[in-house]
Structure 1
Amino acid sequence: MALPAWGILKGKTAAITGGTTGIGRAIALEYIRQGCNVAINHLGLQKDESLRHSLLQEVESLQKQGKGAGSVLEIAGDVTVPETSDSLIQEAVRRWGKLDIFVANAGVFKQAEFLKIEPALLGHSLDVNVKGTFYSCQAAARQMVKQGHGGSIIGVSSVSALVGGGLQTHYTPTKAAVLSLMQSMAISLGKDKIRCNALLPGTINTQLADHDMKNPTKKAYLEARVPLGRIGRPEDMAGPAIFLASEEMSPYVNGAPLLSDGGMFSNLQ
């Protein structure tokens, strides 16, 4: 269920990487519902055009409801290239005059057995999940420091930052790196009143989990691990992302991992 249009982020500007699908899309739409203007990065692939168009249609629908929804702009680019994030931030500032919130969400995952992982898969995982997150957060932080009025940076990590996975040896280290990056950034940028926190989703039904969701046995196993009894939805991450973005709701939350997994991590022993 979507939050009511309370205007929690009214007048704010946010930028989000990987914002046309999954968790990034859900966060972007909720930010817009709450009055935030959002610049969205995506890869710009032809196969994803339907997702881009449907997102813009959803934003238009929110705006037509007349409850103070924000606006959107979208820019194609690969976050492994530093200039992509520079362009995203610059365009957001050009359009709306500032940057208040940044969500580093873009990420990749493909299950693979440890002994069969090739350098290309490992390299791509590190490039997108670690380097892409670093470059984009750095671009956002530079703008926020320049503005001088603080801000909120959120890195989308994972419960996989805290536990291992036999088919995730190339993935769990990258999500641990995102959590560690947020903690170090919180120390580095605290003097500039920029809060940096990590959102740690559990098992969420996104395109990255398609392999498991299409396997009834694996899906049932995953559901059984969650005390709430269900796999997470992308929309389940929107509320926590609102909380971390809001200066009024989380003014003293900094360098923190916010676990949002339905209780799965507490149930693993």
Structure 2
Amino acid sequence: MLLEGQRVLITGASRGIGRATAIECARHGADVAVNVFKDSEATATLVKEIEALGRKIVVFDADVADPESAPAFVEAAVSGLGGVDVLVSNAGICPFHSFLDMPRATLRRTMEVNLFGAYYMCQAAANQMVKQGSGGSLVAISSISALVGGEMQTHYTPTKAGVHSLMQSTAVALGRYGIRCNSVLPGTVATDINKDDLADPKKREYMEGRIPLGRLGRPEDIAKVVVFLASDLAGYVTGAAVLADGGAFANFQ
């Protein structure tokens, strides 16, 4: 029960890594507030899972790209849970597209969701933590794509590098308030964001073949890293980036 009594906010929580993180945090004793966006069916099943674990859950439906959604989400969490101890900034999109004909709207939307959304949410949560005066933890889901390129991800990889950099800078800015800021860099994790790309058996086999542990990541693999970073076990860890990729980056040569 690494997070017993903690109030944890998670963005992009209806599916994938965000959903797994909400459930894992609840298993470790946390009450959760989840940001979702137009995904009522998946959200309803998540609520049932969290409540079955005996934990509270607050649901807030909004687009993280909207600057007003961040303070409103935090306000809803404070109202429902009494405060904010941890924010997990997870919401992200990756509409694969080639570089030379990248639509400006696709570039802009990816930046606004992945990077600006993370900024707004971290800022709003940090302000609440400073107000409470008892410290806290920001954990942002970056990606191995912050470290390597991707032909169809020229709009995506810069956002994930930005999220990683944001956590380094906020670690410096917020350390005096006892707020720790870290990022997680998942490798290839089988989620809705890449299910079409991995539907090709040859592509999936190729991706698995690059990973020393011999398999793609699961959302639960990343959720467990988030719980560690949010917990007192990581009490002296801030400004760090945890690469959770089954050894893939070490094998890129």
Normalization by structure 1: what TM-score? 0.92
In 1, the alpha carbon distance for the partners of 2:212 and 2:101 equals 33
In 1, the alpha carbon distance for the partners of 2:62 and 2:44 equals 17
Shift of 1:10: 0.7
Which residue of 2 is the match for residue 251 of structure 1? 235
Give the one of 84, 97, 104 matched to 2:69.
Answer: 84
Contact 2:170 2:181 in 1 (8 A): yes
1:262 aligns with 2:253: no
Which residue of 2 is the match for residue 40 of structure 1? 34
Contact 2:51 2:57 in 1 (8 A): no
Which residue of 2 is the match for residue 134 of structure 1? 119
Identity %: 48
Give the one of 181, 195, 209 matched to 1:210.
Answer: 195
Shift of 1:49: 2.1
In 1, the alpha carbon distance for the partners of 2:85 and 2:41 equals 29
Cα-Cα RMSD: 0.9
In 1, the alpha carbon distance for the partners of 2:70 and 2:213 equals 37
The correspondence of residues 113-132 of structure 1 with structure 2, limited to 5 A, is 113-132=98-117
In 1, the alpha carbon distance for the partners of 2:101 and 2:195 equals 21
Shift of 1:62: 2.1
In 2, the alpha carbon distance for the partners of 1:205 and 1:160 equals 15
In 1, the alpha carbon distance for the partners of 2:8 and 2:48 equals 19
| Structure 2: unaligned runs, 5 residues or longer | none
Which residue of 1 is the match for residue 25 of structure 2? 31
1:17-43, Cα deviation, whole Å (9 max, x unpaired):
101110000000011111101000011
Which residue of 1 is the match for residue 97 of structure 2? 112
1:152 aligns with 2:142: no
How many pairs were matched up? 253
Shift of 1:59: 1.6
Which residue of 2 is the match for residue 49 of structure 1? 40
1:119-161, Cα deviation, whole Å (9 max, x unpaired):
0000001010111010010000000111111100001100000
In 1, the alpha carbon distance for the partners of 2:181 and 2:197 equals 31
In 2, the alpha carbon distance for the partners of 1:19 and 1:86 equals 17
In 2, the alpha carbon distance for the partners of 1:180 and 1:95 equals 31
In 2, the alpha carbon distance for the partners of 1:164 and 1:259 equals 16
